Structure 1
Amino acid sequence: MVRILVCDKIHEDGIRILREFAEVDVSTGMKPEELLAKVPDYDAIVVRSATKVTAEVISAGKSLKAIARAGVGLDNVDTKAALARNIKLINSPEASTVAVAELVMGLMLSFARKIPRADLGTKQGKWEKKELMGTELRGKTLGIIGTGNIGKAVGRRAAAFEMRLLLYDVVRDEGFAREVGGRYVELDELLGNSDYVTLHVPLLPETRHMIGKRELEMMKQGAVLINTSRGAVVDEKELIEALKGGRIGGACL
């Protein structure tokens, strides 16, 4: 019988489904050396983001045939080492699409309407009505960097808010652009013309720090950067400097 090791917490329904066709052991919070000792006994492992599936782990997994990531990104898995062993890599690209897209809309609304400050002030007994006037999202320009599943979901929701959409991706989906009334542009044009910029790209060597000093300086004065993808996509030291200097209006991370 196939043996599966679940290394990070997943929903009990997922465990139940796996147990319909395999012997499943759940062992979360393992130290690297504990995982190295366990992995040789299993045909497949399931991880989220906490467990790092290194080349050493893959080498130790003599029986490994599959590595499953209960999530979108595979940056915690040494994919080269896995593919060299012909180990199948599995992720769940649509699992968090709606949740992340709704979070992005919530972050924009919170920033535009100054909801966190209003909440804190009210709890402190303040009534800062004039200071908390805020702005509307309608008519503002949202720049979406990365139009995969999540980027598209954000675009559809932003279009419903009557926002203008600028899109950037190395692979363009003109059908989607027509659907939401947006248009694909080069990255520099998007940065210079967007009131909000939201990132939806995987963490790859070519996307690490893709938003750095140059890109932050190109952003529209007072614009807001939203990053719900991997943190390393943004050079956080440069982001802090841009915020301190008032170059951009804010960041939602």
Structure 2
Amino acid sequence: MTPKFTVYVLDPYHPDAIKLLQSDPNIKTILPTDPAQTCWHAHADGIILRSETVLSAKDFSQAKKLKVVVKQGVGVDNIDLDAARKHGVAVHNTPALNSESVAELCMALTLALSRRICEIDRAIRKGQRVVRSQVLGVSMFRKTVGVIGMGNIGKVVAQKWLGAFECRILGFDPVAPKDAWNDVKHDRVWCLDELLKQSDLVTLHVPLLESTRGMIGEEQFKDMKMTAILVNCARGGVVDEAALLHALKEGQIWGAVLDAMETEPPTLESYGDLLALENVIMTPHVGASTVENQCRSGTVVIDTLLKVLNEETAPGKVC
């Protein structure tokens, strides 16, 4: 049987997802390692990708046959959606699938910072003597957690802090419906500064939009407690990184953990000043990077792609 569609895999995917794609006789699969990758503009009916690849307006204008792009994960800021609409290309993502793994990382990073685990580990590896009275951590038990962004990931994060540490949850989201999280014990606040002033932990779960770019900046750090921790496992650009560096150096907040930065992956060249601080932990956007999640979300991407190519209703439609 001659394949009906040619699909280009532009970024690495879990082997189970690739196996599922290759098992369909109607699909010709071009993998990232195939030299034919450079010709996708001329031949691709469908594309699957992750955050590594950027699709620009020029890419869409050159794509001769492209019908659908499916992005693993929620964020689609690496895809020019206006250009996709202009050229009649459907764009889908995989909402809600990353919630558990991202929430796990948020909690893991927060606890690693609050209990100074990385700092102590580095000292031991250097052969330094660690005096316990001089490396006191901060307990999260019954603290106030401010969740900015009341979507799927934010909800799972809230549930974890509630269940594990009996925390008080504050939720802020100017666009979420009034009945959002009606099954989660929380207090809804309608002003960001109100959340910032009360929270011991501020955790971000918003997309990168013009309305959210730099939403945590100089003025917001002034509102936060000196004992507060900032967590960004959402998107780079939501936090003003120059203002964050200043806030940390001046002791305006207790510390920060970042899994999302404006420059990814983080390097010493780009983030040497932040990485020199003991009260900062950075990871290279690995919130969704568990074996289980990559397998599950990868197979959902393939299922979505095949449905769209076969003109069936598919989940996660962005445009």
TM > 0.5: yes
Residue 14 (structure 2) aligns with: 11
Conservation of the 8 A alpha-carbon contact between 2:144 and 2:200: yes
Residue 242 (structure 2) aligns with: 237
User: Given the alignment of the two structures, is residue 180 of structure 1 paired with residue 184 of structure 2, yes or no?
Assistant: yes
Conservation of the 8 A alpha-carbon contact between 1:121 and 1:128: no
> 2:13, 2:81 → 1: CA distance?
22
**3-state SS of 1:10 partner:** coil
Q: Of 140, 151, 162, which residue of structure 2 is paired with 1:137?
A: 140
Residue 87 (structure 1) aligns with: 89
- In the TM superposition, what are the counterparts of 1:204-243 in structure 2 within 5 Å? 204-243=209-248
Conservation of the 8 A alpha-carbon contact between 1:9 and 1:28: no
Residue 103 (structure 2) aligns with: 101
Q: Assess, with a 3 A threshold, how the Cα gap between structure 1 residues 238 and 214 changes in structure 2: closer, same or farther.
A: same
Residue 203 (structure 1) aligns with: 208
> 1:29, 1:81 → 2: CA distance?
27
Runs of 4+ deviating beyond 6 Å: none
Give the superposition deviation at 1:133.
2.8
Residue 311 (structure 2) aligns with: none
Alpha-carbon displacement from aligned partner over 1:119-159 (angstroms, at most 9, x marks no partner): 22333252321122322211111100011111111001000
> 2:134, 2:128 → 1: CA distance?
15
Give the superposition deviation at 1:182.
0.7
Gaps of 5+ in 2: 259-319
Residue 194 (structure 2) aligns with: 189
Q: Assess, with a 3 A threshold, how the Cα gap between structure 1 residues 44 and 196 changes in structure 2: closer, same or farther.
A: same
User: Given the alignment of the two structures, is residue 167 of structure 1 paired with residue 177 of structure 2, yes or no?
Assistant: no
- Give the number of the structure with larger relative contact order, counting CA–CA contacts within 8 Å between residues 6 or more apart: 2
Conservation of the 8 A alpha-carbon contact between 2:150 and 2:181: no
Q: Of 122, 133, 156, which residue of structure 1 is paired with 2:124?
A: 122
Identity of aligned residues (%): 39
Give the superposition deviation at 1:237.
0.6
Residue 246 (structure 1) aligns with: 251
**3-state SS of 1:80 partner:** helix
> 1:128, 1:120 → 2: CA distance?
14
> 1:88, 1:171 → 2: CA distance?
25
TM-score by length of 1: 0.92
Conservation of the 8 A alpha-carbon contact between 1:7 and 1:28: no
* RMSD of aligned Cα (Å): 1.8
Residue 71 (structure 1) aligns with: 73
Give the superposition deviation at 1:208.
1.0
Alpha-carbon displacement from aligned partner over 1:137-189 (angstroms, at most 9, x marks no partner): 11111100011111111001000111111101123355554433211102110
Aligned length: 249
